[in-house]
Amino acid sequence: MKTIKKLFCLLTIMCLVFACAACGSSSDDTLVMGTNAAFPPYEFVDDDGNIVGIDAEIAQAVADKLGKKLEIKDMEFDSLLTAVQSGSIDFALAGMTVDEERKLTVDFSDTYATGVQVIIVPENSAIATVDDLTGKKIGVQAGTTGDIYCTDDYGQDMVKQFNNGALAVAALKNGQVDCVVIDNEPAKNFVKANEGLKILDTEYAVEDYAAAISKENKELQEDFNKALNELKEEGKIQEIIDKYITAE
């Protein structure tokens, strides 16, 4: 009788172990990245409907190194941090600036690129430098550093938030705002795609991009950094950046 009980116990334990291993692997073999795919060349939707760009390729290279599949979820930029915190995504890779306030809610990976907040104006605009922004209506993407800095510097009344850069640029074209403050690489893309706009030479802010990872997931942060740094050493990150950004 005792032996039967023992055997039964053993079987139950084995079943549990297998069940756990199975449930672990279905979520453990995939890394879920969140992004806002309206931020070329870091992330955008190509003609086939795929999310591509620098961040998508870096994430794929990191996932490959970690032996995992990659799934990309597209969402509003200002939902990304909550999604990281709630665990509905494993990390956000979205041309996201490392920022002290954001560090209160999420951790950041090592940085992989530099961003510059620039000012887009109509070609005939009287705005020539950052100093001319006082009293002007400024278009920004909601929740971005451009939004945060402009709201701090010029007050909420002067800042109009849009869900993404393309919408802010459309508002600039039809005169709803006098300028748009946004990251330099997307700015170049938007100016190229829209006639009659230019980027001012003056830089509003220089910043670093990194992946946002949950404070609860130190293991992923470590793995991510290890993979990222290997990719940097191998020249892979630069290769991906060069594929999308041609030096002037």
Site string for ligand GLN, 162-201 (x = CB under 6 A): ---------------------x------------------
Q: Distance between CA atoms of 77 and 162, rounded to whole angstroms?
A: 10
Site string for ligand GLN, 50-79 (x = CB under 6 A): ---------------------------x--
Backbone angles phi, psi at 112, to 5 degrees: -130, -5
Backbone angles phi, psi at 144, to 5 degrees: -85, 170
Closest approach, Cβ 228 to ligand GLN, in A, equals 18
- 78, 162, 187 from 45: Cα distances, Å: 19, 19, 17
Q: Distance between CA atoms of 113 and 79, rounded to whole angstroms?
A: 22
> Which is it for strands 179-183 and 107-122: parallel, antiparallel or unpaired?
antiparallel
Among residue numbers 107 through 166, which ones bind ligand GLN (CB under 6 A)? 115, 141, 144-145
Closest approach, Cβ 202 to ligand GLN, in A, equals 18
Q: Distance between CA atoms of 117 and 110, rounded to whole angstroms?
A: 20
Closest approach, Cβ 183 to ligand GLN, in A, equals 5
Site string for ligand GLN, 7-36 (x = CB under 6 A): -----------------------------x
Residues at the interface with ligand GLN (CB under 6 A): 36, 39, 77, 94-97, 115, 141, 144-145, 183
